[in-house]
Amino acid sequence: MAEKGMSAIIQDIEDHIAGHGGIPGEWYVSVTDAPKHTLFKVHQLKPSGEAWISRKATSELQAIEVSEYFRTVQKTRGTQVEASVGRVFVYAYKMKPHTKP
């Protein structure tokens, strides 16, 4: 997956949320080093029929800044994260009763 700049990632995720409905508070945004594992194993999304997106940032810091933008400005769900080696993927998914959280 090619790296993207901060504004491009924000735009992609905002477009994805708008295209799949719901208010930002129904979405969870965070960072990871393994998007598919995190989405399907940790958060328990189903293999099909789920609304999710992931984008590769240019650095761990940029990934955190994007995640924090969504958490604090757009008011999505997510936890405050600290820099960690390799966690350059920003992901978002629409929460449902079976997802964690």
Tens digit of each residue's pLDDT (9 = 90 or more) over 5-25: 999 999 999 999 999 998 999
What pLDDT score was predicted for residue 85? 78
Please, what is the end-to-end C-alpha distance for the chain in angstroms?
Answer: 26
Cis peptide before 101 (omega within 30 of 0): yes
Question: Using the 8-state DSSP alphabet, how is residue 27 labeled?
Answer: E
Among candidate residues 72, 89, 83, 74, the one with its CA nearest the CA of residue 30:
89
* d(C-alpha 65, C-alpha 43), whole Å: 21
> pLDDT by residue (tens digit) across 22-52?
899 999 999 999 999 999 999 999 999 999 9
Q: Which of 98, 70, 81, 72 is nearest to 31 (CA)?
A: 81
Quickly state the pLDDT bin for 81 (edges 50, 70, 90): confident
pLDDT, residue 84, reads: 79
3-state SS, residue 4: strand
Taking the whole predicted model, whether its pTM rises above 0.85 is answered as yes
What letter does residue 40 receive in the DSSP assignment? Answer: I
